[in-house]
Chains A and B, each alone.
Chain A
Amino acid sequence: MFKKVLIANRGEIALRINRACHELGVATVAIFSEADRNSLHVRYADEAFCVGPGPVVRSYLNIPNIISAALISGADAIHPGYGFLAENGRFAEIAADHGLTFIGPPPGVIAAMGDKATARRLMREAGVPTTPGSDIVASVDEARTIAEAIGYPVLLKATAGGGGKGMREVHKPADLATAFATAQAEAEASFKDGRMYVERLIVNPRHIEVQVLADEHGGVVHLGERDCSVQKPSHQKLIEEAPAPVFDPALRDRLHDIATTATRAVGYTNAGTLEFLVSGEQIYFMEMNTRIQVEHPVTELVYGVDLVKEQVRIAAGEPLGFSQDDMHPHGHAIEVRVNAEDPERNFAPAAGTLSTVVFPGGPGIRVDTHVYGGAQVPPFYDSMLAKIVAVGRTRESAILRMERALGETRIEGVKTTVDFCREIMGDPEFRAGGIGVGWLPQYLARRVQPV
């Protein structure tokens, strides 16, 4: 086991990793920007290094300063968390060059899965279903030919894309050229990579993802699926749950098999998530996230496994202490993302000082957060303040628990998603389950213009 782990992140996930390390008896090193000097992740770590000013490029993405902090502190491993450098294969490589273990899959796997066109090709070769579409297209004319062959509507996607950037829906041939040019320009600007591919647009699918763990000795298990279909118009997830409600058991088994097959096929190790679009009986591979995900607690609560501790153990070379037969889900868990955003203004992010902060408690409630009364919300970072997770024996009990928990939550000083998410918990369509990714945007449109 490692002696000391540097946590290359901030916010709730830095705290989450800190907790996992301390439970394993591993010392921790935090990094922070000047804007995060008073953050809880700095206080709870055994050591902390300021690595730069507020803007992420100069601090949380500052590879030389982060690696230097790891070396100076005598850390033997780096946990990247999510976001920032978590899916940067080059960072993983640099860490290895300096004798530091990167807590994640091998750099080559990160790079292959990070390039969407490559990931699709590898998955197709492994027999994993992907959406009908192309490899990288050389020109807009080639894109048009492929769009005609697979049929409209299509999705133009940047191979380096993410977070909805470099992606455009095209519903008719006349719109293709403009959409291609704007998506490509966006990808050039955001990722310095304008290579595009075309795939069939699946209308209103469910976003279902499978959590996997793979050790360095050939052990692979899945920890079931999460339904992350409640997404903002920006495609960002807002509410996630495990297991997926209203889901055919045979389809579920097939999904899990696909996920473990794919994990083995790409030589994956550590914790990972395979994201799929599910439409009726059809399953399409979308992408693989080679890191811990924001919504990992819902899986932890139904499987009773500490995913972050498993990440550290796997990276330290330990075999998984369980097999697929040992994995049995219990009950249902729902997570709500408490963001400093105004749902009435298109989820515009807000920064400022939190005055009152009261989180819920009681049976079946877990809160992962880094904020407290008087804490600053700097303008530089992700707007997530907390994750409130409710677990119950049934989906209904988890929803009722979440409604109660959100009613107890008081956050003042910035607008948050708390009340909006409570409203969603009471919505009959959400309660019925099985909604697609188009549901929340439609809900918002109805809400703005009541008939």
Chain B
Amino acid sequence: MTEDVIAQRARALASALTESGFARLRVRDGETEIELRRARGGAPAAPAQAPAAEAPPSERPSTERRADVLVSDVVGVVRFLRPPLTEGQELDGDRELASIETLGIRNPVRSRGAGRLAAILVTDGQPVEYGQPLFTVER
């Protein structure tokens, strides 16, 4: 992504962070990772960009919870699992959360590890575009 696109995305995420009440928000897309942390005053801090490989977990205070926003990497229609997941549900590992159907092909959306399904941002049958936030998983 170009710096401009990263900045745009970071701005959009900053408002999500403000509304969510999370201390930290991270979005990963291919080689780019955007992480926002709430400043002490409560407003989101300036966005910092780091390659996915950097940002060692040891730097994170153990008490601070992090929210990963899972985004769609295709254009398609959301298909929930049967029975559908519920907000607040604990995920015991890398689990399938839903799929995005594109031209009859099911593209699974996975939780990328354990955590708490903090927010479901889409509804079953909803059309989504590339990069559209689907779920928030709190780690």
Could you tell me which A residues sit within 8 Å of B by CB distance? 34-35, 37-38, 49-54, 59, 64-69, 71-73, 98, 353, 376, 378-379
Q: How far is the CA of A381 from the CA of B35 in the complex (A)?
A: 28
Contacts A/B (CB < 8 Å), 10 sampled: A34-B130, A37-B5, A50-B130, A52-B130, A53-B1, A64-B74, A64-B102, A65-B75, A68-B103, A353-B4
Query: B29 within 8 Å of A by Cβ?
Result: yes
**A72 contacts B127, CB within 8 Å?**
yes
How distant is A46 from chain B, measured CB to nearest CB, in Å? 15
User: Which residue of chain A is the closest to B73 with respect to CB atoms?
Assistant: A52
Query: In the complex, what residues of B have CB within 8 A of residue A37's CB?
Result: 5, 8
Q: How far is the CA of A71 from the CA of B102 in the complex (A)?
A: 10
**B129 contacts A379, CB within 8 Å?**
no
Q: A34-B1, A35-B4, A98-B103 are in contact. List 17 more A-B contacts (CB 8 A).
A: A37-B8, A49-B75, A50-B131, A50-B132, A51-B75, A52-B130, A53-B30, A53-B130, A54-B5, A64-B75, A64-B102, A68-B75, A68-B102, A72-B75, A72-B127, A353-B4, A378-B2
Query: B76 within 8 Å of A by Cβ?
Result: yes
Q: How far is the CA of A35 from the CA of B9 in the complex (A)?
A: 11
Query: B77 within 8 Å of A by Cβ?
Result: yes
User: Which residue of chain A is the closest to B29 with respect to CB atoms?
Assistant: A53
How distant is B119 from chain A, measured CB to nearest CB, in Å? 21
Within 8 A of A (CB), among B12-28: none
**B105 contacts A72, CB within 8 Å?**
no
User: Which residue of chain B is the closest to A72 with respect to CB atoms?
Assistant: B127
Q: How far is the CA of A231 from the CA of B102 in the complex (A)?
A: 42
Query: In the complex, what residues of B have CB within 8 A of residue A71's CB?
Result: 103
Q: How far is the CA of A53 from the CA of B105 in the complex (A)?
A: 21
Q: How far is the CA of A54 from the CA of B5 in the complex (A)?
A: 9
**A67 contacts B8, CB within 8 Å?**
no
User: Which residue of chain B is the closest to A94 with respect to CB atoms?
Assistant: B103
Q: How far is the CA of A379 from the CA of B4 in the complex (A)?
A: 11
Known contacts A37-B5, A376-B2, A378-B2: A65-B105 contact under CB 8 Å: no
**Interface Cβ pair total, 8 Å cutoff:** 64
Could you tell me which B residues sit within 8 Å of A by CB distance? 1-2, 4-5, 8-9, 29-30, 74-77, 102-103, 105, 127, 129-132
Known contacts A49-B129, A51-B129, A53-B30: A65-B8 contact under CB 8 Å: no
The majority secondary structure among interface residues of chain A is mixed
**B1 contacts A65, CB within 8 Å?**
no
Q: How far is the CA of A186 from the CA of B53 in the complex (A)?
A: 35
Q: How far is the CA of A450 from the CA of B129 in the complex (A)?
A: 55
**B5 contacts A34, CB within 8 Å?**
yes
Q: How far is the CA of A201 from the CA of B58 in the complex (A)?
A: 66
Q: How far is the CA of A52 from the CA of B129 in the complex (A)?
A: 8
User: Which residue of chain A is the closest to B4 with respect to CB atoms?
Assistant: A376
Query: In the complex, what residues of A have CB within 8 A of residue B127's CB?
Result: 72-73
Query: In the complex, what residues of B have CB within 8 A of residue A379's CB?
Result: 2
Q: How far is the CA of A449 from the CA of B79 in the complex (A)?
A: 65
User: Which residue of chain A is the closest to B76 with respect to CB atoms?
Assistant: A68
Identify A67's interface contact among B9, B103, B131, CB under 8 A.
B103
How distant is A19 from chain B, measured CB to nearest CB, in Å? 24
Query: In the complex, what residues of B have CB within 8 A of residue A50's CB?
Result: 75, 129-132
How distant is A90 from chain B, measured CB to nearest CB, in Å? 14
Q: How far is the CA of A68 from the CA of B132 in the complex (A)?
A: 15
User: Which residue of chain B is the closest to A379 with respect to CB atoms?
Assistant: B2
Q: How far is the CA of A66 from the CA of B74 in the complex (A)?
A: 10
Q: How far is the CA of A54 from the CA of B9 in the complex (A)?
A: 13
User: Which residue of chain A is the closest to B12 with respect to CB atoms?
Assistant: A37
Among B74, B76, B102, B129, residue most surrounded by chain A Cβ atoms (within 10 Å) = B129
How distant is B9 from chain A, measured CB to nearest CB, in Å? 8
Query: In the complex, what residues of A have CB within 8 A of residue B77's CB?
Result: 72
How distant is A229 from chain B, measured CB to nearest CB, in Å? 36
Among A49, A67, A68, A353, residue most surrounded by chain B Cβ atoms (within 10 Å) = A68
**B76 contacts A35, CB within 8 Å?**
no
User: Which residue of chain B is the closest to A37 with respect to CB atoms?
Assistant: B8
Query: In the complex, what residues of A have CB within 8 A of residue B29's CB?
Result: 53
How distant is A117 from chain B, measured CB to nearest CB, in Å? 33
Q: Which 6 A-B pairs have the closest CB atoms?
A: A65-B75, A72-B127, A68-B75, A50-B129, A49-B129, A50-B130
